Chain A
Amino acid sequence: MDFTFIFETFETLVGGLPLTLSMAAISISAGTILAISLAVFAVFGGSTGKAFASGYVFVFRGSPLLVQIFLIYYGLGQFRPALQAWGLWPILREPYWCAVIALTLNTTAYSGEIFRGALQSVPAQQVEAARACGMSGLLLFWRIIFPIALRQALPGYGNEVALMVKATALASVITIMEVTGSAGKLIADSFRAFEVFCVAGAIYLAINLILTHLVAMLEYRLSPHLRLQPAQAA
């Protein structure tokens, strides 16, 4: 084992960490907001909302993320004059923002489905009970449906967050030097695929370990009703 090489590799790859993390953070937060809206559309939006949501999900889950990234980065570049006229060019010319947009749209489809399932799993009795107390509309959604659905969605959502961290690796294909991009370059330069793979893999595993722990902690906090009561525990 050549520890100097491994240490140098680690130093290089950690340099790409801010890009990986910022892409993951932006696309997960933006994607979550969009996904909740998509799920609300799908469940409460009538037949139009349902059709829109299922079409969206079909397109973004049915095709590879890499193709979506290429379509946005290279494909939209073809409409440069129009994009310049709309003032969108400064954003769409940057590989970073194109990757973030693609990741966001992609995770919206996946987490949208998770939230849709969660919304549909809210027991009708709970909604009825709330209505019986005179709650309706936004208040009903905010106080009753949303918290119950959130608890229901968490395990699946945790998976999706982990998947998104891995998915940022694809941004390396459009020249972004995040962790995988730097790893790919190092491997191509040194031909020591195994060492670089181990270091890069360890970085991703560490991020995902921390994230899944955070989600598990949130899950624990949000489900006091599922914990053993002190009397039972004894």
Chain B
Amino acid sequence: MDAIKNYVELVGFGQEGWGGLLLSAMMMTIAVSVSGFLTGSVLGTIVASMKLSSIGPLRWIGGSYTTVLRGVPDLLVVYLFYFGGGAFLSYIGAFAGYDGYIGMPAFLTGTVALGVVSAAYQAEVLRGAYRAVSRGELEAADSVGMRPWRKFRRIVVPLVLRYATPGLGNTWQLVLKESALISVTGLVEILRQSQIAAGSTRKPFEFYLTALVLYLVITWASSLLFGRLENRAMRGFRRAA
């Protein structure tokens, strides 16, 4: 019981203590994950369409993109954009007459790195979902006289979203956990905030355990959310199955 009392005093989710800071760090984790995931969706759609394209070189580029980014540690990608971005910004700055190092903003690094990595995973999910759209559905759309764009918007997009929901849910969970890597750039998300707290109180165990629990809360909540989304997405499908 003493241990619990000490813990509550240390972390103190009330007005004082580290609790409040950890909660806002949790919001930062969610923010950078959402922004990385959405960037990844846009980029992933492009990569998926390249892989599905009938033009050879585009297919090849799309294929290499997913192979490389799924085969390389994500920490390396974070380093690439953090240090590479910094070098690039300084290079641009030198042209504008600014003589010094311009660092890459941590949140932007997070968004870009998580976006670029998750695009590779989302592209695979979307490609699989597109392939799952049956020829029959497309023929039916043709036979009622739908034009290509309308067919795409009314038939292909809803079906692809339906089929992709479970896979995108997995990717989202992945991005949430990968966001911990952004702590190396100094972005104050859950892990970085816990490191700060652990350093200044010399109680690493309590704070890293808290970090672990906070991540479990977010991943658990998002699995509930995605479960509901999947249910909704499958509405009208169950009877047919």
Contact = CB atoms under 8 A, between A and B. Distances in A.
Interface string B76-94: 1101111110110000000
A154 to B, nearest CB: 19
B79 A191 contact: no
A96 to B, nearest CB: 17
B220 interface: yes
A15 B3 CA distance: 45
B204 A74 contact: yes
A215 interface: no
A169 B204 contact: no
B167 to A, nearest CB: 14
Interface string B199-231: 000011100110110011001100000000000
Nearest to B181: A66
B75 A208 contact: no
B86, B178, B205 pick with most chain A CB within 10 angstroms? B205
A46 interface: no
A205 B86 CA distance: 26
Interface stretch (B7-15, B39-47, B65-73): B65-73
B43 to A, nearest CB: 18
Contacts of A78: 203-205
A197 B75 CA distance: 10
Nearest to B72: A201
Nearest to B217: A62
The interface residues of chain A, by DSSP majority, are classed as helix
A64 B191 contact: yes
B141 interface: no
A108 interface: no
Interface of B: 67-68, 71-77, 79-84, 86-87, 177-181, 183-184, 190-191, 194-195, 198, 203-205, 208-209, 211-212, 215-216, 219-220
9 closest Cβ pairs, A-B complex: A193-B84, A169-B73, A64-B180, A75-B205, A74-B204, A71-B208, A63-B215, A64-B177, A62-B219
15 contacts: A62-B216, A64-B178, A67-B180, A70-B191, A75-B204, A75-B205, A77-B204, A78-B205, A166-B71, A166-B74, A187-B79, A192-B87, A193-B81, A193-B82, A205-B68
Interface of A: 58-59, 61-68, 70-71, 74-79, 162, 166-170, 172-173, 180, 183-184, 187-188, 191-194, 197, 200-201, 204-205, 208-209
